[in-house]
Chain A
Amino acid sequence: MDLGEKGKFGLEKRTVDSLNCNTTGLTTTEWNQIGSLPCPSASMVDSFGHVIWNQLPANTHNLSFSNAQASASSSTIGKPVPMNWNPSDSLTKGGMFFSTGMGMLPLSLSQFPCDAGFTERAARFSCFSDVAYPFIVPGGSDATAEAQMQKNEAGRIEVLKGRSVLIDQSSNSGSPMKEQREKGPNEFSEPEFSDDAREESPNSSKGVFGINKRKRSDQDMESDQGQAAAQLPFEAAKDVTDNMQKAEKNSSTMANVKPLGKNPKESGEAPKEDYIHVRARRGQATNSHSLAERVRREKISERMKFLQDLVPGCSKVTGKAVMLDEIINYVQSLQRQVEFLSMKLAAVNPSIDFNIEGLLSKDLFQTRTGSSSAIGFTPEMIHQQLHPPHQGLIQVGMPGVMNPSDVFRRALNAQLASTSGFKESTQQMTNAWDEDLHNVVQMTYGNNPPLKTQDLNGAPRDGFPL
């Protein structure tokens, strides 16, 4: 997306070509309604052009957007109108102003040299003072504001600082403009601070621009016409900006940032970028520190929620301290359980032949059970499986069948079968294991007569209903 590129790559991309794309992207209304405007800041002006510059005086015809002027009187803001200014017109209508000094004619959009020298030249033309000057200032202020806002995205700061003012302007205006265009008409009157990224950032940027514009325009108004013309739009802008003051407060770090789809209020990670885009919430400070803090707090609360699910009995607990208390208690209890179980194992241990354990592990690792939830062993499960076989075996009289691997496997299978319902596979596994168990039994219980192997085969089916 263009915006993303602009936001990310800063000046390098915001040279001619990006501006080209930018402005072409804008095309429609804004250009036309800009009326007479200096070229590089035209895109900048676009952002508030249709609010403010609808009634530009006629003596600003020098601008290249002669055709646009014709439709400048039209107050439709968002109506798409084909961009039909062309270089020849600008030249004929006195675009010489531009062409001479600056070579800044928008002969083609690809020729937007946004250098700082333009500001001076533009300022020379008094008729443009009310036009040009305000553009410069917001750019400057905006750059700093943005630099602040985006401090939590470290990678961007250098980019931001490296920009020249004008390019900022154009870029800023570009991105909000594009969004604005997509928004549709009459967005100003009802600034909706919804989740739509596009709405907010243009509003915010406009708010910024508008406010600065108000300040500057009062100082720099040289022509009465300009004043008169400007006042009306300024009042309109004032209303808008009053509404937008809030927008400005809500304005995010995303004025130059690629909007993350439709969820700007959440911080998400753009796939390619390694910093997190954050949008300030309504009524909250947009200080970079507070934003970063908020991100951090949200991350922490996310993890606390996860822990809440982990620790049993914590669903009703709220508050960090109590939750931490519960977590601590749980961890301590788990560690105590480990201690207790190791004690138990130590008590059981001396009579265990560890060859079996080795084989057990081998068998366990060999059998792949496919689907199951985790081996969520519970002692209850084991008891169910073990005790009936236990009785069955005693009746049979050949308890040799029950060896640890068998039990273990059956417990596993039982658990898995209950969860996955793979009874047949467990039966098969049972049979497969029996063959292994021949060797096991003969190795370990070396005294056992071969008869027992028969029982080994038979008993699982009889005594161990799975």
Chain B
Amino acid sequence: MQAADLSFHRSFLKTMFMGLKLGVSSKKMSYQERKRVIKLSANIAMAVAGNGMNWSRALIIRHAKHEKNKVLLRSLLGRKRYESITEPGFPLNFTWQRMIMKRRFRRTNSILRRGAHASNGATARVIARSMAKKRTRTLKSLVPGGESLDDFSLLGETIDYVISLQTQVNLMRLLTEVLSVSNLRKKELDKASREVKC
């Protein structure tokens, strides 16, 4: 396969570095804070790189809700994008809540109905279906933005999300390796220079 598509990687690294640079002020940050910023940068980088997918936008929205992240997000995403994503006029909440209500209503109804038939004894198919449904629900909670998706698109989103997660993990791992090695080098360098001085 020629010319592999490295655009995802590039975009991810770009945003990641930008986030690290902006977010991590080397002096006064606690470990926890640094970790949080790094994780945020990584997630935003992944979302920006995986642009155009439903989970990408949902992930950004999820992070944008916290107050602490707003500054960093605004600088990372650029003003336009940040504004467009966090605009309050979007009726997403409405439809989302309505859907949740509907789903709960339907679920209780079906449970009631099934209770009426429970005397039949649950067939294998019913059991299998409920198992699959249960797991679909957990998957929906895992994949950002998956709540309002139907089965089919949910699977598509998970595919994309899994691929991006894998890439994110790989790149972050590489980054840690590189940085740790360079850290070592730097330490040795300092040590050597100190020795030279002495």
Contact mask for chain B residues 7-41; partner A; CB cutoff 8 A; 1 contact, 0 none: 00110011001001100101001010011001100
Task: Decide if B192 is an interface residue (CB 8 Å cutoff).
Answer: yes
CB of A357, distance to nearest CB on chain B (Å): 5
B139 touches which one: A324, A352, A374, A403 (CB < 8 A)? A324
* Complex Cα gap A245–B6 (Å): 56
Which residues of A (326-366) have their CB < 8 Å from a CB of B? 327-328, 330-332, 334-335, 337-339, 341-354, 356-358, 360-361, 364-365
B155 touches which one: A307, A319, A346, A383 (CB < 8 A)? A307
* Complex Cα gap A282–B34 (Å): 62
B135 touches which one: A321, A341, A378, A383 (CB < 8 A)? A321
Which of B138, B158, B170, B185 has the most C-beta atoms of chain A within 10 angstroms of its own C-beta?
Answer: B185
| Contact across chains for B20 and A357 when beta carbons are under 8 A apart | yes
CB of B36, distance to nearest CB on chain A (Å): 8
B165 touches which one: A338, A345, A375, A398 (CB < 8 A)? A338
| Contact across chains for A341 and B172 when beta carbons are under 8 A apart | yes
Complex contacts, A324 vs chain B, CB 8 Å: 132, 135-136, 139
Complex contacts, A304 vs chain B, CB 8 Å: 155
Task: Decide if A108 is an interface residue (CB 8 Å cutoff).
Answer: no
Complex contacts, A376 vs chain B, CB 8 Å: 170
B182 touches which one: A307, A356, A373 (CB < 8 A)? A356
Complex contacts, B42 vs chain A, CB 8 Å: 338, 341-342
Contact mask for chain B residues 176-198; partner A; CB cutoff 8 A; 1 contact, 0 none: 11111111111111001100000
B193: nearest residue on chain A (CB-CB)?
Answer: A447
Q: A371-B2, A373-B1 are in contact. Are A339 and B189 (CB under 8 A)?
A: no
| Contact across chains for A371 and B165 when beta carbons are under 8 A apart | no
| Contact across chains for A307 and B13 when beta carbons are under 8 A apart | no
| Contact across chains for A400 and B177 when beta carbons are under 8 A apart | no
| Contact across chains for B143 and A331 when beta carbons are under 8 A apart | yes
Task: Decide if B83 is an interface residue (CB 8 Å cutoff).
Answer: no
Task: Decide if A310 is an interface residue (CB 8 Å cutoff).
Answer: yes
| Contact across chains for A327 and B139 when beta carbons are under 8 A apart | yes
B158: nearest residue on chain A (CB-CB)?
Answer: A327
A452: nearest residue on chain B (CB-CB)?
Answer: B189
Complex contacts, B162 vs chain A, CB 8 Å: 307, 310-311, 327, 330-331, 334
CB of A304, distance to nearest CB on chain B (Å): 7
Q: A303-B155, A324-B132, A327-B139 are in contact. Are A346 and B177 (CB under 8 A)?
A: no
| Contact across chains for A310 and B163 when beta carbons are under 8 A apart | yes
Q: A331-B142, A356-B182, A404-B179 are in contact. Are A346 and B38 (CB under 8 A)?
A: yes
Q: A303-B152, A334-B169, A342-B35 are in contact. Are A374 and B182 (CB under 8 A)?
A: no
| Contact across chains for A404 and B178 when beta carbons are under 8 A apart | yes
Complex contacts, A25 vs chain B, CB 8 Å: none
Which residues of A (86-122) have their CB < 8 Å from a CB of B? none
Complex contacts, A292 vs chain B, CB 8 Å: none
Number of residues in B with C-beta < 8 Å to the partner? 68
| Contact across chains for A379 and B181 when beta carbons are under 8 A apart | no
Which of B13, B131, B174 has the most C-beta atoms of chain A within 10 angstroms of its own C-beta?
Answer: B174
* Complex Cα gap A94–B2 (Å): 73
A307 touches which one: B21, B34, B158, B173 (CB < 8 A)? B158
| Contact across chains for B35 and A374 when beta carbons are under 8 A apart | no
Complex contacts, B143 vs chain A, CB 8 Å: 331
Which of B131, B155, B161, B192 has the most C-beta atoms of chain A within 10 angstroms of its own C-beta?
Answer: B155
Task: Decide if B175 is an interface residue (CB 8 Å cutoff).
Answer: yes
Task: Decide if B4 is an interface residue (CB 8 Å cutoff).
Answer: yes
Complex contacts, B186 vs chain A, CB 8 Å: 351, 353, 403
CB of A221, distance to nearest CB on chain B (Å): 50
Complex contacts, A353 vs chain B, CB 8 Å: 186
* Complex Cα gap A76–B129 (Å): 55
B31: nearest residue on chain A (CB-CB)?
Answer: A346
Complex contacts, B171 vs chain A, CB 8 Å: 375, 377
| Contact across chains for A349 and B38 when beta carbons are under 8 A apart | yes
A312: nearest residue on chain B (CB-CB)?
Answer: B166
Complex contacts, B31 vs chain A, CB 8 Å: 346-347
Q: A332-B142, A373-B1 are in contact. Are A345 and B152 (CB under 8 A)?
A: no
Complex contacts, B29 vs chain A, CB 8 Å: 350
Which of B17, B143, B163 has the most C-beta atoms of chain A within 10 angstroms of its own C-beta?
Answer: B17
B3: nearest residue on chain A (CB-CB)?
Answer: A371
| Contact across chains for B26 and A374 when beta carbons are under 8 A apart | no
* Complex Cα gap A374–B131 (Å): 36
Which residues of B (51-80) have their CB < 8 Å from a CB of A? none
Task: Decide if B118 is an interface residue (CB 8 Å cutoff).
Answer: no
Q: A335-B165, A341-B172, A360-B17 are in contact. Are A352 and B34 (CB under 8 A)?
A: no
| Contact across chains for A345 and B182 when beta carbons are under 8 A apart | no
A326: nearest residue on chain B (CB-CB)?
Answer: B135
Complex contacts, A307 vs chain B, CB 8 Å: 155, 158-159, 162
Task: Decide if A262 is an interface residue (CB 8 Å cutoff).
Answer: no
| Contact across chains for A361 and B156 when beta carbons are under 8 A apart | no
A355: nearest residue on chain B (CB-CB)?
Answer: B21
| Contact across chains for B185 and A402 when beta carbons are under 8 A apart | yes
Complex contacts, A261 vs chain B, CB 8 Å: none
Complex contacts, A377 vs chain B, CB 8 Å: 170-171, 173-174
Which residues of A (388-422) have their CB < 8 Å from a CB of B? 390, 393-394, 397-400, 402-404, 407-408, 411
- Residues of B bordering A, CB below 8 Å: 1-6, 9-10, 13-14, 17, 20-21, 24, 26, 29, 31, 34-35, 38-39, 42-43, 128, 131-132, 135-136, 138-139, 142-143, 151-152, 155-156, 158-159, 161-163, 165-189, 192-193
Extra A-B contacts (5), CB below 8 Å, given A321-B131, A347-B31, A390-B184: A338-B165, A341-B42, A346-B35, A346-B38, A370-B2
Listed by A's residue number, 30 A-B pairs whose Cβ atoms lie within 8 Å are: A299-B152, A303-B159, A307-B155, A321-B135, A328-B142, A331-B165, A338-B39, A338-B168, A343-B35, A344-B176, A344-B180, A345-B35, A345-B179, A346-B31, A349-B20, A349-B179, A354-B26, A365-B10, A377-B170, A379-B177, A382-B174, A382-B177, A382-B178, A390-B184, A397-B192, A402-B185, A403-B182, A404-B178, A407-B181, A448-B193
